[in-house]
Amino acid sequence: MLRKWGIFSSDLARIRGLVRKGALEALARRNGPVKEDPRISQMRAEKARVEEALKELAIENTLLRKKVG
């Protein structure tokens, strides 16, 4: 049915995401700030730590390759 209107399923998923995000933002404005679950904050901090460690390992790997090569 989507093809009839020239819409791909990925477009529909993106549109639904935007609608959901907009609805949540509107509710947040109406109800005041929403407190984030502490587990999410912990996960974000862990993700940042892992990303930083990965960057450091990539740099170290590049330097080691130059020494060997």
Distance CA 25, CA 17 (A): 12
pLDDT of residue 29: 81
Q: How far apart are CA 65 and CA 58, in angstroms?
A: 11
- Span 41-68, pLDDT tens digits: 999 999 999 999 999 999 999 999 998 8
In sequence order, the 6+-apart residues with CB closer than 8 A to the CB of 2 are: 8, 9, 11, 12
**Contact (CB, 8 A) for 14 and 24:** no
- Rounded mean pLDDT of 6-31? 89
Q: What is the domain partition of the chain in residue ranges?
A: 1-34, 36-69
Residue 1 reports pLDDT greater than 70: yes
Q: Grade residue 34 by pLDDT with cuts at 50, 70 and 90.
A: low
The pLDDT of residue 7 is above 90: no
> Please, what is the average pLDDT of the chain?
89
